[in-house]
């Protein structure tokens, strides 16, 4: 069986919101790198971010649009409480401190949240002591992926669809350097990359 080979500087495996954001950040910050995103289905239509549709799922950022006193410290405490001691406090602080900036970037890329009186409407959803969850009807994940997919396309991220990645492999120094996947028709593809994001 012939094996097709693909080379990338950065290989991102997945097609949901996290993978889309990883591809966006890699290409935006390092435009000369070859960034490839591999997804097992059709990009923008597969992955858990796209398949979860609920008005009770959103993205959190302590903008305090609803005037209930929300701020980064409240958000941090909610993350740590919900994590029940399992969360990394340093990482949680970064999430709480940067959430508004990251969500603003999504809005600048074209993400439109449910609106109330001229600003995004924030709901008090699971794990939140304040109204901080922003939603796009019942399609928040799908909409986040949609705007990032458009941004990735504009930046020149290589999109490779309908590939099932089966395993990663390491070089002689025991560093992950590639992945093996299959196309739907059964053809093997070998991906070689300097960095891999799952």
Same domain, 46 and 144: yes
Same domain, 116 and 147: no
The more confidently predicted of residues 12 and 126 is 12
C-alpha span between 178 and 192 (Å, rounded): 4
User: Does the pLDDT at position 13 exceed 70?
Assistant: yes
pLDDT of residue 1: 62
pLDDT of residue 50: 76
- State the residue range of the domain holding 86: 54-138
User: Does the pLDDT at position 190 exceed 80?
Assistant: yes
Residue 171: give its domain's CATH number: 3.50.50.60
Of all residues in the chain, what percent carry a pLDDT higher than 70? 96
Same domain, 27 and 61: no
Same domain, 16 and 74: no
Contacts 24+ apart (CB under 8 A), 134-140: 134/58, 134/59, 134/60, 134/61, 134/103, 135/55, 135/57, 135/58, 135/59, 136/111, 136/112, 137/55, 138/53, 138/54, 138/55, 139/53, 140/57, 140/58, 140/59
Same domain, 98 and 46: no
* Model pLDDT for residues 76-111, shown as the tens digit of each residue: 999 999 999 999 999 999 999 999 999 999 999 999
User: Does the pLDDT at position 8 exceed 60?
Assistant: yes
Same domain, 63 and 133: yes
Give 155: exposed, middle or buried? Use CB within 10 Å, 0-12, 13-18, 19+.
middle
Structural domain tally of the chain? Answer: 2
pLDDT of residue 53: 57
| Domain's final residue, options 138, 159, 190 | 138
Same domain, 36 and 47: yes
pLDDT of residue 103: 97
Same domain, 59 and 126: yes
Same domain, 28 and 69: no
pLDDT of residue 54: 61
Same domain, 122 and 47: no
pTM attached to this predicted model: 0.91
Same domain, 61 and 76: yes
* Model pLDDT for residues 33-80, shown as the tens digit of each residue: 999 999 999 999 887 887 765 666 889 999 999 999 999 999 999 999
Same domain, 186 and 125: no
Instruction: Give per-residue burial for 23-44: e unless 16+ CB within 10 Å, then b.
Output: bbbbbeeeeeebbbbbbbbebb
| Domain's final residue, options 89, 113, 138 | 138
pLDDT of residue 151: 98
Q: What is the band of 185 on the pLDDT scale with cuts at 50, 70, 90?
A: confident
């Amino acid at each position: 069986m012939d094996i097709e080979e693909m080379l990338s500087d950065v290989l991102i495996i997945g097609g949901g919101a996290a993978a889309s954001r990883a591809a966006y950040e890699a290409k935006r910050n390092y435009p000369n790198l070859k960034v490839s995103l591999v997804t097992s289905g059709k990009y923008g239509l597969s992955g858990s971010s796209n398949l979860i549709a609920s008005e009770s799922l959103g993205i959190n950022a302590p903008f305090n649009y609803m005037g209930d006193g929300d701020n980064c410290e409240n958000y941090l405490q909610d993350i740590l409480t919900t994590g029940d001691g399992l969360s990394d406090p340093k990482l949680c602080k970064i999430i709480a401190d940067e959430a508004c900036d990251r969500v603003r970037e999504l809005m600048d890329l074209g993400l439109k949240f449910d609106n109330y009186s001229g600003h995004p409407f924030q709901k008090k959803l699971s794990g939140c002591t304040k109204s901080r969850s922003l939603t796009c009807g019942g399609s928040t994940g799908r909409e986040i992926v949609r705007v990032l997919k458009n941004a990735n396309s504009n930046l020149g991220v290589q999109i490779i669809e309908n590939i099932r990645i089966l395993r990663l492999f390491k070089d002689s120094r025991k560093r992950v350097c590639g992945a093996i996947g299959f196309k739907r028709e059964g053809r093997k593809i070998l991906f070689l990359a300097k960095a891999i994001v799952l």
